Structure 1
């Protein structure tokens, strides 16, 4: 069921995210009126960080990976091609490259209209993105070990 747009307006963003996280049992690492940060212990034992950023009527959910390059020209073509191909199979999220701390970072992201988000969608979306990012990091780590 879709929610009222007012629940995630700037003035209600913090209280709504807190309410959702409390009902799911998630802890919030940091929050302000336009951004929330949640940390998850992934299946691999690594910590994955979920950013939720408010843009007008849309929320951006993003989990940056540990796969970072100094410049886009350093990114292996096979990795980009594999992630672009994988994007076509996803119902939730897409791989992208975003600049974080001066590095070109592979992140899995999903943008959702605020009116479509309820606590169940919020939970499924967050968990799916964290799982996908963790799986990519494990695949790349194994490939590097075997290289």
Structure 2
């Protein structure tokens, strides 16, 4: 692989990794922003939020789901081209499904969900447009 191809590949990896950081930060700030909703902290203290009992198993599932973008920051940098393509595509689609399934409660949710989905669609686009490295 010549130096120009190596630089192009590093740029694509950096862009994908940066987009995952962008999406992850928006997920975090959407969650933090939710704490300012009237009555939300009281709900958390009861252990039931929006009628859903918060259990250890549910927290584990949430932890696994939030680990996806965290892991993709690193994996976008280290995985081989073909695996990287599939990992970014599958993880992005999965996160879009999770974000949409989570629903929107108010205008700020719509804002954050829109930004997150745009970021994830950009990841999919970059993964598909990434030039195949020369053999």
Measured against the shorter chain, the TM-score band is: 0.3 to 0.5
Larger Rg: 2
TM-score (ref. length: structure 1): 0.36
Query: Which has the higher relative contact order, 1 or 2, with Cα contacts under 8 A spaced 6 or more apart?
Result: 2
- With structure 2 as the length reference, what TM-score do the two structures score? 0.39
